[in-house]
Amino acid sequence: MPALAAILAMIGILGLLIAVHELGHFLAARLQGIHVNRFSIGFGPVLWKYQGAQTEYALRSIPLGGYVGFPDEDPDSSFSPTDPDLMRNRPILDRAIVISAGVIANLILAYVLLVAEVGIVGIPGGVQYQPGVLIAQVAADVSSVATDAGLQARDVVLGINGQSLGKAEAARDLLMNSIRGKAGQPIQLQIKRQDQELDITLVPEAGEEGVARIGVQLAPNGRLVRRPIKNVVELFGAAAQEFQKIIGFMVQTFGQLVGNFQESASQVAGPVGIVAMGADMARSDITSLFQFAAVISVNLAFINILPLPALDGGQLAFLLLEGVRGKPLPNGIQEGVMQVGLFLLLGLGVFMIFLDTAKLMA
């Protein structure tokens, strides 16, 4: 797939994930008869809008999310403050369903994408390994050992100090163990870059606990082999297994982020980084976008359920406090917290865009 087409495809996928998330909120409200007056994808200036019988639908210029608006928040609303179908007048359970529906919609979409992937490309049936170890990613730090030595993502390390790594999953562990004890000592890597073979010498630096590192992420140099599905039961079962793996991976990733925030945060990607990674995958294998989109959809669900202001989890936290207190927090406090949270969220989004762009240009 051409680079521009891959980038546009990835932007379209991100837009789809956001739209499905907001559609979850919208449908959960409308199916319960709750008034909804706005459905927006993105923030900022309006690019396109349509006024329906009850709801204004809009596409906005800053693609960092979206929102579903309720007349409760509109001072010019024609609805009576005591209208039982206003969001604020509904029982806590009704409101919790609306707030959590976006997360549920993203999880459902992730599973549907995995079903589509398995149906199209088949079920994983093992890995066919090629010689060497793949350099999956090079640290964005312009002064890293790998960057200074000229290593690039997608390079394949065939050997180290004249020792061949062979072709097996264990080749990655062999390479990692060969590097770990070489802090401050020059090592020579035999590299394959497309059809060219290179010898690159570098000196690993001492990382945590004195373990040497060169600033790359390694992956087995293998290709997943798939077989066709036998029946519908196998299709949905295989998709469920893939879904479970992604959930487990996401829980582990968030645990690592909390446990070692400084190191893990440097690996976090924003919108530009996600588009770049997805576009790179699309250029090599368009079917890999199914898996990638499913991972991002689950990631979006996990992020939104965090108890932070301006996120779904933050609103659920307000509902929990309301249930404990027997009455909601004063509107002024809720609005103040949500506005600060929204400002910080947008600021973080803009910061991540600049950070991702700097990484790509480095």
Catalytic residue set: 22
Asked whether 134 and 224 are in contact (CB, 8 A), the reply is no
Query: Angle at CA 183, nearest 5°, toward 182 and 187?
Result: 50
Residue position matching structure tokens 């390994």: 129
Asked whether 96 and 113 are in contact (CB, 8 A), the reply is no
Which H or E run contains 63? strand 56-69
Q: Which residues does 262 contact at the CB level (< 8 Å), separation at least 6?
A: none
Asked whether 29 and 74 are in contact (CB, 8 A), the reply is no
Q: Which residue, 177, 222, 220, 184, is CA-closest to 202?
A: 184
User: 3-class SS at 64?
Assistant: strand
| Strand pairing category for 187-193 and 156-160 | antiparallel
Give, as one character, the DSSP assignment of residue 362: -
CA distances from 181 to 158, 160, 212 (A): 19, 13, 6
Cα atoms in the 13 Å half-sphere on the side-chain side of 307: 6
Output the six-digit token pair for 232: 């519908």
